[in-house]
Chain A
Amino acid sequence: MIGVIQFPGSCDERDAVAAAQRVGDARLVWHEETDLSGLDGVIVPGGFSYGDYLRAGAIARFSPAMEAVSRFAADGGAVLGICNGFQVLCEAGLLPGALLPNEGLRFICRQVELIAEDFSGPFGSDIAPGDRLSIPVKHMSGRYFAPDDQLNRLEADGLIAFRYAPGANPNGSVRDVAGVVNDAGNVLGLMPHPEHAVDPLTGSDDGLALFRALAAAQQPAPA
């Protein structure tokens, strides 16, 4: 069972549930829930949690559900953060780096090409390095940033999961980074929306690979 956190102001949580249900079971998890036992994986979805007031993801990270997600991740559970979810995971310190306002200072919604990197952990199970995925982005603050030395380390350790294809970087992300994993590989965050790429009719089904990987994830064993 995959759990999708629902914050006030979430937008894509029902879409994420529907996407996960194409390959397994999924349900919403209310932001006040703290018991994640029984979940095999967690999605922190896109949207504007708490209106993105203060700073994208800055308030949601303090919600009771996010404290539980931190424990879940520490126990080795698979966590996928999409867009606002990626921002929340960065704010929570579960992923390195930060998401800044887009270079153009405007919201941008566009189908983009991603290239998968060689990254470890459960999310890479269905994706080979060099795979190209067509997945939409839609965000106001999606410009990935980390200092050079940290980026060098991320690259050396194989923690960059996805980059925008050459020429497809929509927001000015440093080194074209579109998604990263944590050291253990069990937490993945990306700005593009795989839940909106699960049906060729709506543009592409290239995002299904991530949901298949999540559906195959094992329930964490609490330490």
Chain B
Amino acid sequence: MSTGVSESPHRELGLTDAEYARITELLGRDPNQVELAMFSLLWSEHCAYKHSRKLLGRLPTDGERVVMGPGENAGAVDVGNGHAVAFKVESHNHPSAVEPFQGAATGVGGILRDVFAIGARPIAVLDSLRFGELSSGRSRYLFEGAVAGIAHYGNSIGVPTVGGEVYFEPSYEHNCLVNAMCVGIAKTDEMIRSAAAGPGNLLVIMGASTGRDGIGGASVLASAELEAGDDSKRPTVQIGDPFEESKVLECCLELLERDLLVSLQDLGAAGLTSSAGEMASKGGVGLDIDVRRVPLREDDMEPFEVMVSESQERMLAVVEPSRLDEVVATCERWQTGAAAIGEITDTGRLRVLDDGVEVGDVPVNALVDECPLYDLEPQEPSGWMYGNDETLGERVALSAGRSADAGDPSAILRGLLGTPNIASKQWAFEQYDSVVGSRTARRPEAADAAVLMIPESDRAIAVAIDGNGRRVACDPYAGAVEAVLECAQNLACAGAEPLGLTNCLNFGNPEKPSVAWQLDRAVLGLADACVALRVPVVGGNVSLYNETEHGPIYPTPVVGMVGELPDPARVPGLAPGEGDRLVLVGPFSPSLAGSELAKQRGELDSGLPQPDIPPVSDALALVRELVRDGILSAAHDVSDGGLACALAEMAIAGGVGIDADLDPLVELRGGSGETCLFGEGPGGIVLAVSDADAKAVLGRAEAAGVEAVDVGVVSGERLEIAAAERDVSVAVADAERGWRALGDML
């Protein structure tokens, strides 16, 4: 008869026998229930980064403008006049796979807290989503739920969602990805760190009360593969309350402005255990916490439950005793909770008390810093390790409303524009408030990057988030380089110079050699691209074990980038004007490898052309200059679906036709007309410029040593693209109809 009780409680909590032995050794005894619960969480992959920490050391983190780097709740870069922009991206994948609305909502709530935990007011959210194909009912459910959840939380709390991306690929069918990025603005001298300090100071928990929701989320959900029947894990997903967070946010910012806090930290994964442990570890101090002093939703909670609960909308602060009354009064004014639950000690130990009686006592460094780190055992897989489905014929027929020639470039273009990956995401972003805060100078799909005004320092920032997992699956190194380049290209189209980068590494089970290889190569690619572009990594997040019995997800490093620009009024959109010349700049060398077309044809395979970063970097510098000079009427980088799709998107945005001739490009790069139309790769930006300025742009490109090709003119009402006799001819209105049809697929 099964009793349901494991012989090895540590295994049920996700610790290996060796890890348990190590804990016993560090404590000099067996841990009790409270201590074991705490260790199991802080030694989880999610909290300890035990399979990724060694790799992350490769990423460059230094830069002149870095105010706060990795290790704090969020990174931050200087934007002048005593202000800093804080930002971070984080995953909420497994909770969203179990319950998409609340999973995505609390993902937004969590990343917002990370940003205001360092004293920055959140001013923008971006999100990066991955689901299975929309032909799957489950994927439609997850997509709709996640978008609604993001909208619910972000809209309610009054932070605009200004950008994002979403891809639909079969590998995410059983393991969707929901990554959220938050950007905030702070006065540099009001920013705060999380290190606890000052023995005798008080530990104050603020915000919502603590309940049984989300117990074990980090270890149960985030650090193991998803399995069938995971619906039963729904109680481990937290429920978000944006109203509560709105009050806590305003309250914390007021407390910081009045200089009433010594340090501040949000409560996220692993709850009080993680937050308190990290604060103590960073400050080199100890903490005594009495769980009976924590405001509870259910008063019969066990001490370990209080210590590991992931109830949302809570913050932890260190407060000098003389300031406690003022802090509590401020929280009361904002109608949010505050309770002193413990104090800072000089013991270096985290002691848990239950109404004064000790129920746990562990050295802080054992809990936070002594988790074993593992070396990966990477091994390159022998070939394409994912599926391949031919869907082009179906797409082409769909776009034509009948069966059509799947080799006809016009039909291919219409088909590609209607794929969920390339189609307009208006259906999603119209559900997000993108204007609250009065900073949004470029809304979603108005330009390649969102542009936010920063009147505090008389400039603007551009923000973008990118990461095409399919291309990383084809070649983890090249694909990761491309993710960084894509982000930088989007920023350049807004005239922005990158200041810093945050990333979220979404991968499968790192204990499997092929996934370890993907992770290893991708981090190397990120590092090389960041070094070459001189963009420091100021923070990030790792989400491993994104895999089911159906296999791992595409390796998906998501890159978020923030750049600055002097004058938002000069940012060109995507819409060219009638009569403009179109100039393709950069070393763009299209290839069908890993492209959307290759996917639709069922021809995906390992390998991408290896990117040469310096010429891309030179092209970006030129584009930035041209944007800042205000002589461009549109700028758009070549991305999914290649040059033909980029031109189509510009024609749709402008409501005008384009007459393009790609023969010079075919001649320059070789390859077929089809490759030039639909091939993908980094380093291509299409600029629209008045006929009068076109020569000057070509001249400046030549002077800068940047390749530039005049590819056509903006005129008429059709897309006419000649490419080595593979000619496209589509009415812009027809192209637009397919491109705007995402909502019809739901």
Contacts and interface: CB of A to CB of B under 8 A. Distances in A.
Max chain A Cβ within 10 angstroms of own Cβ: one of B243, B244, B439, B453: B243
Nearest to B158: A11
Given A8-B243, A48-B243, A107-B155, A199 B431 contact: no
B436 A11 contact: yes
B40 to A, nearest CB: 34
Contacts, number: 88
Interface in A1-49: 8-12, 15, 18-19, 46-48
A51 interface: yes
A153 interface: no
A22 B369 CA distance: 53
Interface residues of B, number: 32
A175 interface: no
Contacts of B335: 8
A109 B430 contact: yes
B206 to A, nearest CB: 15
A193 B437 CA distance: 12
B158 A106 contact: no
Nearest to A52: B156
Given A53-B243, A196-B435, A12 B158 contact: yes
Contacts of A203: 435, 443
Contacts of B156: 9, 11, 48, 51-52
A113 to B, nearest CB: 16
Given A18-B438, A107-B151, A201-B441, A48 B242 contact: yes
Interface string B345-373: 00000000000000000000000000000
Given A138-B435, A195-B438, A202-B435, A106 B242 contact: no
A85 interface: no
A50 interface: yes
Interface of A: 8-12, 15, 18-19, 46-48, 50-53, 106-110, 136, 138, 140, 193, 195-196, 198-199, 201-203
Nearest to A51: B243
B195 to A, nearest CB: 31
Contacts of A196: 435-436, 438
A17 B680 CA distance: 47
B242 A109 contact: no
A12 B155 contact: no
B562 interface: no
Given A51-B244, A109-B435, A138-B436, 7 more contacts: A106-B148, A106-B151, A109-B155, A109-B434, A193-B435, A196-B438, A202-B441
B444 to A, nearest CB: 9
A34 to B, nearest CB: 16
Contacts of A110: 430
Contact of B436 (A15, A108, A199): A15
Contacts of A10: 158
A203 B438 CA distance: 10
24 contacts: A8-B246, A8-B247, A10-B158, A11-B155, A11-B156, A11-B158, A19-B438, A46-B436, A48-B246, A51-B241, A51-B242, A106-B148, A106-B151, A106-B431, A108-B431, A109-B430, A109-B433, A110-B430, A136-B435, A196-B438, A199-B438, A201-B453, A202-B453, A203-B435
A12 B430 contact: no
Interface string B152-196: 100111100000000000000000000000000000000000000
Max chain A Cβ within 10 angstroms of own Cβ: one of B151, B334, B433: B433
Contact of B568 (A19, A136, A201): A201
Nearest to B156: A48
B659 to A, nearest CB: 30
B569 interface: yes
Name the 3 nearest CB pairs between A and B, nearest first: A11-B158, A51-B243, A48-B156
Contacts of A12: 158, 436
Max chain A Cβ within 10 angstroms of own Cβ: one of B152, B438, B443: B438
Nearest to A47: B158
A9 B437 contact: no
Interface string B291-323: 000000000000000000000000000000000
Contacts of B243: 8-9, 48, 50-53
Contacts of B514: none
Interface string B236-264: 00000111101100000000000000000
A43 B121 CA distance: 23
A15 B155 contact: no
A202 B441 CA distance: 5
B675 interface: no
Max chain A Cβ within 10 angstroms of own Cβ: one of B241, B430, B434: B430
A59 B446 CA distance: 37
B247 A9 contact: yes
Contacts of B554: none
A15 B429 CA distance: 21
A155 B439 CA distance: 37
Max chain A Cβ within 10 angstroms of own Cβ: one of B152, B156, B334, B432: B156
Interface in B217-235: none
B440 interface: yes
Contacts of A9: 156, 243, 246-247
Contacts of A106: 148, 151, 431
A151 B681 CA distance: 58
Contacts of B157: 11, 48
B432 A109 contact: yes
Contacts of B435: 109, 136, 138, 193, 196, 202-203
Nearest to B151: A107
